[in-house]
Chain A
């Protein structure tokens, strides 16, 4: 995933893509070891899976509830990421202000924070005794132990993926087309809608898909911030963690399901032209 993000994290538009041909041969060895590091554990998981029991393990009410909740919350989180992340990426990519580099680093923070730290931070903000929690409670919004808390946690960790992808795409695309449209008399909103967004659509889509995948895999912040109740806050990763206590086979089966969904998502992104 980081490989996908790399072009966006530095202004690579000027340098262009490095040539693949002409690489020294020795590069292949560490590259193969790296690939094995990723592939072998997943392969081992598949080999350990109780394939014959798989259908029954994946259709228990707890498993179905967890999967449906995960898809629902990750979907909502992705929509939120798009609604909030697109404007953020636009501001970051088109800002001429020098402090924008600091801002970009801040947006990236949830990517590198340990999940439990994210959870504690969310508690400090939105918990019942948090900075905003009491105001929210007065407004009638109960965040504690609710599905809303799960969506908040997922959005928190997934947002950077969208912003980084789109920010990279925007800066690579440059402003030429936008300037032409503006010279021709288009208003800023029209330029954004008719020129900018269509131009970076592939970057936006891959960012959204990555956000969805990250939201689906969210674990630590959810556990710390939202709690774990079947059908309300117990997402698929939390169910895997709990099942491991009593039925390791079920945990492996559910893990495999998560990997399968993640593979589908990553393939969907890789199938698109790079931004």
Chain B
């Protein structure tokens, strides 16, 4: 914010020096966009983002709106495949960020993206149990015991596909009591104490805080989930869309992502 503070008096001085006639030459938004090379962005930017990105995207949206007072950023959060389906049905959006490359590829194949998708973060699975760990789970192998009610994602959804890869890498076969359709549902079953253990993303475990106990799964490195982002062909504000992608992949976005538990784009 310090560039803004110094830029504001400077701009005022410039206006005074040039005089009334020259005031038109000074971009009225220049002081607020001091850090930005281009002119301030205006209009409405619609971001479709995987539910796991909620906090990060909210934060970035707020930052963009502060820097560009004429810009309104709307974000729609849902499961990646819900978002892809909505776009294929013609929902208007400028940016899409999904939790896996398979879903993004479907949107790319449908010809809906403007540029190449760019991977901006990674995520890995971890094992969580209720805080009091009723079943005594210290490893993935423990979760495979008969007396442990373990819940995982169904193979059809990205976290379920990752679960299968982790099982393979660890040489462990889980017999889940439930295969949920979303990672949120897995987490819910663990935090409510219904399940003794569940496989969720590191970011979900981080967000759950004290509601869960985290068990490290070294084998999870075998199933890294890559998050791609792309601007969309029918974007109403292509410049704002590109600026958002830059922000997400840039230092500010990366810092927020790391805080939320995401790994860097090239893997954890």
Query: Is the pair B192, A229 in contact by a Cβ cutoff of 8 Å?
Result: no
Residues of chain A within 8 A (CB-CB) of B178 are 145, 226-229, 233
Contact among B154, B177, B180 with A144 in the assembled complex (CB-CB below 8 Å): B177
Residues of chain B within 8 A (CB-CB) of A229 are 176-179
Query: Is the pair B185, A145 in contact by a Cβ cutoff of 8 Å?
Result: no
Query: Is the pair B157, A224 in contact by a Cβ cutoff of 8 Å?
Result: no
Residues of chain B within 8 A (CB-CB) of A72 are none
Instruction: Check A127 for interface membership: any CB of B closer than 8 A.
Output: yes
Smallest CB–CB gap between A45 and chain B, Å? Answer: 14
Contact among B156, B157, B189, B193 with A227 in the assembled complex (CB-CB below 8 Å): B189
Residues of chain B within 8 A (CB-CB) of A230 are 179
Instruction: Check B85 for interface membership: any CB of A closer than 8 A.
Output: yes
Q: How many residues of A contact B (CB 8 A)?
A: 23
Query: Is the pair B176, A245 in contact by a Cβ cutoff of 8 Å?
Result: no
Which chain A residues in 218-275 approach chain B with CB under 8 Å?
Answer: 223-224, 226-230, 233-234, 238, 241-246, 248
Query: Is the pair A123, B81 in contact by a Cβ cutoff of 8 Å?
Result: no
Query: Is the pair B179, A128 in contact by a Cβ cutoff of 8 Å?
Result: no
Residues of chain B within 8 A (CB-CB) of A226 are 178
Query: Is the pair B81, A245 in contact by a Cβ cutoff of 8 Å?
Result: yes
Smallest CB–CB gap between B159 and chain A, Å? Answer: 11
Minimal Cβ-Cβ distance residue in B for A225: B194
A241 to B179, CA, bound (A): 12
Given A228-B179, A242-B156; A128-B85 close (CB under 8 Å): no
Residues of chain B within 8 A (CB-CB) of A233 are 178
Smallest CB–CB gap between A96 and chain B, Å? Answer: 42
1/0 contact string of B180-205 vs chain A (CB within 8 Å):
11000100110011110000000000
Given A227-B177, A229-B179, A242-B181; A129-B192 close (CB under 8 Å): yes
Given A127-B193, A243-B156, A245-B156; A227-B180 close (CB under 8 Å): yes
Query: Is the pair B193, A129 in contact by a Cβ cutoff of 8 Å?
Result: yes
Query: Is the pair A144, B81 in contact by a Cβ cutoff of 8 Å?
Result: no
1/0 contact string of B143-186 vs chain A (CB within 8 Å):
00000010100101100000000000000000011111100010
Residues of chain B within 8 A (CB-CB) of A129 are 192-194
Residues of chain A within 8 A (CB-CB) of B81 are 244-245
Residues of chain B within 8 A (CB-CB) of A234 are 179
Smallest CB–CB gap between B109 and chain A, Å? Answer: 14
Contact among B149, B157, B194, B195 with A245 in the assembled complex (CB-CB below 8 Å): B157
Contact among B85, B185, B193, B194 with A248 in the assembled complex (CB-CB below 8 Å): B85
Minimal Cβ-Cβ distance residue in A for B188: A224
Query: Is the pair A238, B176 in contact by a Cβ cutoff of 8 Å?
Result: no
Query: Is the pair A144, B181 in contact by a Cβ cutoff of 8 Å?
Result: no
1/0 contact string of B114-157 vs chain A (CB within 8 Å):
00000000000000000000000000000000000101001011
Smallest CB–CB gap between B151 and chain A, Å? Answer: 7
A238 to B194, CA, bound (A): 19
Query: Is the pair B192, A127 in contact by a Cβ cutoff of 8 Å?
Result: yes
Smallest CB–CB gap between B251 and chain A, Å? Answer: 34
Query: Is the pair A241, B181 in contact by a Cβ cutoff of 8 Å?
Result: yes
Smallest CB–CB gap between A190 and chain B, Å? Answer: 47
Minimal Cβ-Cβ distance residue in A for B177: A145
Contact among A128, A227, A244, A246 with B151 in the assembled complex (CB-CB below 8 Å): A227
Query: Is the pair B181, A245 in contact by a Cβ cutoff of 8 Å?
Result: yes
Minimal Cβ-Cβ distance residue in B for A238: B181
Smallest CB–CB gap between B15 and chain A, Å? Answer: 55
Contact among A127, A144, A246 with B156 in the assembled complex (CB-CB below 8 Å): A246
Which chain A residues in 128-162 approach chain B with CB under 8 Å?
Answer: 128-129, 144-145
Smallest CB–CB gap between A236 and chain B, Å? Answer: 14
Smallest CB–CB gap between B167 and chain A, Å? Answer: 16
A260 to B29, CA, bound (A): 60
A15 to B149, CA, bound (A): 57
Given A245-B156, A245-B157; A127-B177 close (CB under 8 Å): no
Residues of chain A within 8 A (CB-CB) of B185 are 223-224, 228
A127 to B194, CA, bound (A): 6
Seed contacts A127-B192, A223-B185, A242-B156; 18 additional CB < 8 Å A-B pairs? A129-B193, A129-B194, A144-B149, A144-B194, A145-B151, A145-B178, A223-B180, A224-B188, A227-B151, A227-B180, A227-B189, A228-B178, A229-B178, A229-B179, A238-B181, A242-B154, A242-B157, A244-B81
CB<8 Å pairs between A and B, sample of 11: A127-B193, A129-B194, A145-B149, A224-B185, A227-B177, A227-B180, A227-B194, A228-B180, A228-B181, A229-B178, A246-B156
B residues in contact (CB < 8 Å) with A: 81, 85, 149, 151, 154, 156-157, 176-181, 185, 188-189, 192-195
